[in-house]
Amino acid sequence: MIRYIKDLLKNSWALLVGLAVTMRYMFRPKTTVQFPEQKKELGDRYIGYVKMMYETEGEHAGVTKCVACMACVVVCPVSCIQVTHDKHPDPTKKRIAKEFILDYVKCEFCNLCVEACNFDAIIMGHDYELALYDRSVMDMVLVKDMKYHDDLYDASRRQTGSANRSITSPREREIIEVINKKEHEERIKKAAAQSENAS
Amino acid sequence: MNTMLSAILGVLILFGVIALQGLILVYMERKVSAWMQSRLGPNRVGPWGLLQTAADIVKLLLKENIRNERSDRVIFFLAPILAFVAPFAAFVTVPFAATIGFRDLDMGAFYVFALGSSVVFAVIWAGYGSNNRYALIGAMRSAAQMISYEVPLVTAVLGVFLVAGTLSLREIVQLQSQGLWYVAVQPLGFVLFLVAATAESNRAPFDLPEAESELVAGFHTEYSGMKFAFFYLGEYAEMLVSSCVLVVLFLGGWLIPFANNANVPTWLHLLSFVSKVYLIIFLMMWFRWTFPRLRVDHLMAFGWKVLMPLALVNLLATGLIVYWLKS
Amino acid sequence: MTMSKSDQSVHKRSVRFSPERSLFDQLPAETRIVSRRVRTAELRTEEFLLNVGPQHPSTHGVLRLVVSLDGEVITQCDPDLGYLHRTFEKISENRTYQQIVPFTDRMDYLGSMNANWGVAVAVEQLAGIEVPERAEYLRVIVAELNRIASHLMWMGAFGADVGAVTAFLFGFREREMVLDMFEEICGSRLTYGYIRVGGVAEDITPRFVKLAQEFLDLLPSKLNEYHDLLTGNPIFKQRTKGVGVITLDEAIRYGVTGPMLRSCGFPWDLRKDEPYSIYERFDFDIPVYYDGDCFDRYRVRMDEIGESAKIVRQALEGLPEGDFKVKKLARNIKPPVGDVYVRQEAPRGEYGVYMESDGTIKPNRVKYRTPSFSNLSILALMTVGWKIADLVAILGSVDIVLGDVDR
């Protein structure tokens, strides 16, 4: 009898302790984020969708940086990358990717292709809102006719009707702003030296 | 003819009010659960997400009513109606304020409990009629649960009737205005009634008939669209009716604490009643979002081995004291 | 409803369905069925066959259980696997050694770090690659953080299984902090691919260290909250204490490992008993409980969270400077002919990788020994005699990841 009452009181107390926990959280600030308006900050290394880098300055602006070395094609565990090549318009370089297609149905976001790339041609962008209704458009054409191309981004925006702009990752910004400029200057110097030699 | 018209009007008003309360309660449930889980809850449809439940109702109305091919057509159809009508009809005798209320029956409390226990038929019909094994288990559980919680529920209330000497809900409130509220006279009865009422209306931690993690959705697994909405609304109506009865029996109904209730406007009384009811409902929601679900045999054991003896002790003590005071 | 065959009460410990069950279990299958028929014939009841899953709220994925019921009591339970089989072993045999790692993420997706680690160590042992010390430290840190995340997630899911939905969201909330850390170092929140052959993918950042410190400081208070919410709760205790008991003998016979084995009173943990990597440098305990029921499995995991936090703290303090991966690594490793079996303590138990090299760039044979599969195999034994509500609690307490079961 005494044990019965003791158990009853003990258990009731334990229940009250549990109730206190939930009550405390009633009035605490909430942890959830209001997604489309508020976005969590992504880590610098965030793996979103693969982005193609391209020349931003000079006469070849808009031309892809990919030189079709096939390193990413070889390293990809699911063989989702297809690259065809052509002669580079810039005489200082040999080859260029004519078409670079990444099949997002297969891609498993392992980052191996980006790590394999020696030319900073592909990097991991921070875009993650690229849901599509159709599997058949998931072939992401990153390069078309040697030019930078982003039809998947367009397709997703068209299909989902969202007006979201693509998010620029720090790495992307770095490449566009710093490395590209440096390369461009170097190439001008090289061309100048060549023309001097020729003359 | 005139009384007929007024009765129909009254029923329509009641239906409107209860349906609205249902919407508010669903919204409140979502907000309370969200806040307890450090989430924000619905906040997209309308200001602060207030129209979320209305949007849900629209969705449910537009949804297809799917019926299992081998289900029992009549029973399957009747179950959601009974599930909603029974708690709805119980409101007839609830006194919302001194002058507001539909009918004051001499056997008001008895009527409420009788209707409350008839919901079990709806659950069994739903489980049997839908020809689904999960639903059947849910229905069997529910039958066992409702019967074993009906007894301590009524036994816990008997103390109040002993003290009051009447079964009319209005008179019980009026008696409370003269002296203490019955929660002070019958504290154990209050707690027992709260627990048993939670179990009776199939709320967590006693929500075995629809135990989501075990039985998918229990007795209403096969229901969709508006039929499902009726079950959903019925659950909240039942919760509302048991809170109303609890407030009437133990918390002084429409009375305002520490005030002279004789010359207070009716709307204040109504406000007092509604706020008390919502307090009790909040308590039930608080339980739901804190506790795990009981197992079916533990539930029975709890009902018969904990609630029932305590209710009997309460009844015995009350009876003796009442007898001693009167003699 | 028929007569209940088990005598369970609120205050006493539950009595099992059949006292001679282990003997009953040893009988050949045909006799078992016959004997069951005889029994049910006496009671003149019908067996109720319930198909739980593959779509069910609490089978943790696509598991199908064919359950025979006598009223609410389970008389037989047959797990039906294979809905998530993706032939990872064969896939691994057709990939180069470095390419295998991303696939292992998809096996045990709640303990990806450990899954990566096993493969990485297997390849390193085959090819004789020395891993830098800093890489080992980083591997320990992320693996233990992953263990914490996995156990937190399990705690939440188990809470939801027994009906406490709030615990589910609490568990997720704290797990999110670990995921933020992983996002910081490897860019992914679920399939990390962080531990690679020859080290780790990238070095940790100062922000990671800051986040880790914050998390470790916060964890004890959060654990106390879980204890208030679940461990002390009498309803939770009733639902889990004495439920789904397995004896140590049964556990060993079925090859059960990890927290499930430790809850039966056997302190078997590969981190202590067969210290791999640098685990012998850290001071930590192996939590052991003796009842072998759901509650003890819960307690073992909850205690392990604290122990893992201890390891992470020590590893962060002792983190040496140096390289985070081997500097010169061939693009395609060609290990000499030979085979290796590596086993490690994953959050769910013993995770083993068998790898056989034939001297080419691809392994000749790969076999994964995943803990969830072995742990699940005992389910049929554990659930007999318990109620349908216990089935969910017992299944939850096993901590299965269907990706890990089916591979």
pLDDT of residue B211: 63
Indicate yes or no: CB of C183 within 8 angstroms of CB of A42.
yes
Indicate yes or no: CB of C95 within 8 angstroms of CB of A77.
yes
Please report, as a single letter, which amino acid is at residue A114. Answer: V
Tokens of C189: 């929140």
Residue C18 has pLDDT above 60, yes or no: no
Of A19, A22, A30, the CB nearest to B39: A30
- Chain C residues in contact with chain A using a Cβ-Cβ cutoff of 8 Å: 11, 95, 98-103, 106, 166, 173, 176, 180, 183-188, 191, 193, 201-202, 205, 207, 225, 228-230, 232-235, 331
Taking only the tens place, the pLDDT of each residue in B112-143 is: 888 877 888 888 888 888 888 888 888 888 88
Q: What is the ipTM of this complex?
A: 0.79
Q: Is cis: bond before C54, omega within 30 of 0?
A: yes
A195: exposed, middle or buried (Cβ count in 10 Å: 0-12, 13-18, 19+): exposed
pLDDT of residue B69: 77
Taking only the tens place, the pLDDT of each residue in C61-115 is: 788 888 888 777 888 888 888 888 888 888 888 888 888 888 888 888 888 888 8
Please report, as a single letter, which amino acid is at residue C297. Answer: R
Indicate yes or no: CB of B39 within 8 angstroms of CB of A26.
no
| Domain ranges, residue B194 | 64-326
Q: Is the residue at B36 inside a domain? A: no
What percent of chain C stands above pLDDT 70? 89
Q: Is the dihedral of CA A3, A4, A9, A14 positive or negative?
A: positive
Three-state SS across chain C? CCCCCCCCCCCCCCCCCCCCHHHHHHCCHHHHHHHHHHHHHHHCCCCEEEEECCCCCCCCCCCEEEEEEECCEEEEEEEECCCCCCCHHHHHHCCCHHHHHHHHCCCCCCCHHHHHHHHHHHHHHHHCCCCCHHHHHHHHHHHHHHHHHHHHHHHHHHHHHCCCHHHHHHHHHHHHHHHHHHHHHHCCCCCCCCEECCEECCCCCHHHHHHHHHHHHHHHHHHHHHHHHHHCCHHHHHHHCCCCCCCHHHHHHCCCCCHHHHCCCCCCCHHHHCCCCCHHHCCCCCCCCCCCCHHHHHHHHHHHHHHHHHHHHHHHHCCCCCCCECCCCCCCCCCCCEEEEEEEEECCEEEEEEEEECCCCCEEEEEEECHHHHHHHCHHHHHCCCEHHHHHHHHHHHCCCHHHHHC
- With contact defined as beta carbons under 8 Å apart, do C167 and C157 qualify? no
Can you tell me the mean pLDDT for A173-194?
Answer: 78
Interface size, chain A vs chain C, as Cβ–Cβ contacts under 8 Å: 72
Q: Which numeric CATH code is attached to A50-189?
A: 3.30.70
Which of B210-224, B310-324, C59-73, C342-356 is predicted with the least confidence, judged by mean pLDDT? B210-224
C56: exposed, middle or buried (Cβ count in 10 Å: 0-12, 13-18, 19+): buried
Of A15, A25, A34, the CB nearest to B38: A25
How many other C-beta atoms can be found within 10 angstroms of the C-beta atom of residue C76?
17
Can you tell me the mean pLDDT for A179-187?
Answer: 77
**C163 and chain B: CB distance < 8 Å anywhere?**
yes
Indicate yes or no: CB of B43 within 8 angstroms of CB of A34.
yes
pLDDT band at residue B261 under the 50/70/90 scheme: low
**C57 and chain B: CB distance < 8 Å anywhere?**
yes
Residue A27: its chain B contacts at CB < 8 A? 35
Superfamily (CATH) of domain C87-372:
Cytochrome-c3 Hydrogenase, chain B (1.10.645.10)
pLDDT band at residue C44 under the 50/70/90 scheme: low
Tokens of A144: 């078309």
Residue C17 has pLDDT above 60, yes or no: no
Distance of residue A100 Cα from the nearest chain B Cα, in angstroms: 41
pLDDT of residue B22: 80
Residue C10: its chain B contacts at CB < 8 A? 298, 301-302, 305-306
**B33 and chain C: CB distance < 8 Å anywhere?**
yes
Interface size, chain B vs chain C, as Cβ–Cβ contacts under 8 Å: 96
pLDDT band at residue C21 under the 50/70/90 scheme: very low
Q: In what helix (H) or strand (E) does residue B171 lie, and over which residues does it extend? A: helix B169-178
Residue C218 has pLDDT above 70, yes or no: yes
Can you tell me the mean pLDDT for C342-371?
Answer: 89
Kindly give, in sequence order, each residue whose CB lies less than 8 Å from that of residue B260, ignoring residues fewer than 6 positions away: none
Q: Are residues B90 and B200 in the same domain?
A: yes
Alpha-carbon separation of residue B174 from B103, B168, B316, C100, C193 (angstroms): 16, 10, 25, 78, 72
Residue A181 has pLDDT above 80, yes or no: no
Residue C29 has pLDDT above 60, yes or no: no
Alpha-carbon separation of residue B20 from B93, B233, B237, B245 (angstroms): 19, 10, 10, 19
pLDDT band at residue C13 under the 50/70/90 scheme: very low
Nearest CA in chain A to B32: A26
Can you tell me the mean pLDDT for A138-142?
Answer: 79
Indicate yes or no: CB of A19 within 8 angstroms of CB of B286.
yes
What percent of chain A stands above pLDDT 70? 92
Q: Are residues B171 and B194 in the same domain?
A: yes
Indicate yes or no: CB of B292 within 8 angstroms of CB of C57.
no
Q: In what helix (H) or strand (E) does residue A43 lie, and over which residues does it extend? A: none
**C24 and chain B: CB distance < 8 Å anywhere?**
no
Task: Look at residues B287, B310, B109, B273 and name the one whose alpha carbon lies nearest to residue B198.
Answer: B287
Please report, as a single letter, which amino acid is at residue A165. Answer: R
- Chain A residues in contact with chain C using a Cβ-Cβ cutoff of 8 Å: 4, 7, 10-11, 14-15, 17-18, 20-22, 31, 42-47, 75, 77, 108-112, 115, 124
Taking only the tens place, the pLDDT of each residue in A32-83 is: 888 777 777 787 888 888 888 877 777 777 777 888 888 888 888 888 888 8
Q: Please tell me the distance from the alpha carbon of residue C297 to that of residue B49, in angstroms, as a whole number.
A: 41
Residue A34: its chain B contacts at CB < 8 A? 40, 43
Mutation site for B-interface testing, chosen from C169, C229, C230, C293 by largest number of B Cβ within 10 Å: C169
Indicate yes or no: CB of C232 within 8 angstroms of CB of A77.
no
**Total residue length of chain B:** 327
Mean pLDDT over the full length of chain A: 79
- With contact defined as beta carbons under 8 Å apart, do B215 and B161 qualify? no
Residue C12 has pLDDT above 60, yes or no: no
Task: Look at residues B156, B164, B162 and name the one whose alpha carbon lies nearest to residue B190.
Answer: B156
C141 vs B159, higher pLDDT: C141
Distance of residue B214 Cα from the nearest chain C Cα, in angstroms: 6
C58 vs C106, higher pLDDT: C106
In the numeric block, the tokens 């204040």 are attached to B268
Q: Is the residue at B32 inside a domain? A: no
- With contact defined as beta carbons under 8 Å apart, do C370 and C404 qualify? yes
Q: Are residues B56 and B90 in the same domain?
A: no
pLDDT of residue C15: 39
Q: Are residues B52 and B114 in the same domain?
A: no
Task: Look at residues B54, B45, B21, B6 and name the one whose alpha carbon lies nearest to residue B244.
Answer: B21
Residue B243 has pLDDT above 80, yes or no: yes
Taking only the tens place, the pLDDT of each residue in C223-244 is: 888 888 888 888 888 888 888 8
Tokens of C377: 């195999």
Q: Identify any residues that bridge with A122 across adjacent strands, giving them in sequence order.
A: A52
Indicate yes or no: CB of A45 within 8 angstroms of CB of C184.
yes
How many other C-beta atoms can be found within 10 angstroms of the C-beta atom of residue B178?
6
Backbone angles phi, psi at C369, to 5 degrees: -105, 105
Taking only the tens place, the pLDDT of each residue in C127-139 is: 888 888 888 898 9
Residue C14 has pLDDT above 60, yes or no: no
Q: Please tell me the distance from the alpha carbon of residue B170 to that of residue B153, in angstroms, as a whole number.
A: 20
Backbone angles phi, psi at C403, to 5 degrees: -65, -30
Distance of residue A126 Cα from the nearest chain B Cα, in angstroms: 26
pLDDT of residue B209: 64
pLDDT band at residue C318 under the 50/70/90 scheme: confident
Distance of residue C318 Cα from the nearest chain A Cα, in angstroms: 25
Indicate yes or no: CB of C57 within 8 angstroms of CB of B305.
no
Residue C32 has pLDDT above 70, yes or no: no
Taking only the tens place, the pLDDT of each residue in B145-203 is: 877 888 888 888 888 888 887 777 777 777 777 777 777 777 888 888 888 888 877 77
Taking only the tens place, the pLDDT of each residue in C151-183 is: 998 988 888 888 888 888 888 888 888 998 888
In the numeric block, the tokens 């009898």 are attached to A1
Query: Where along chain A do its domains lie?
Result: 50-189
Q: Is the residue at B34 inside a domain? A: no
Indicate yes or no: CB of A26 within 8 angstroms of CB of B36.
yes
What percent of chain B stands above pLDDT 70? 94
Mean pLDDT over the full length of chain C: 82
Q: Is cis: bond before B205, omega within 30 of 0?
A: yes
Query: Where along chain C do its domains lie?
Result: 87-372
pLDDT of residue A66: 81
Which of B83-97, B311-325, C100-114, C263-277 is predicted with the least confidence, judged by mean pLDDT? B83-97
Residue C35 has pLDDT above 60, yes or no: no
Q: Are residues B23 and B128 in the same domain?
A: no
Tokens of C292: 């072998």
Q: Are residues B46 and B116 in the same domain?
A: no
Residue A92 has pLDDT above 70, yes or no: yes
Distance of residue B295 Cα from the nearest chain C Cα, in angstroms: 6
Taking only the tens place, the pLDDT of each residue in C260-301 is: 888 888 888 888 888 888 888 888 888 888 888 888 889 899
Q: Is the residue at B33 inside a domain? A: no
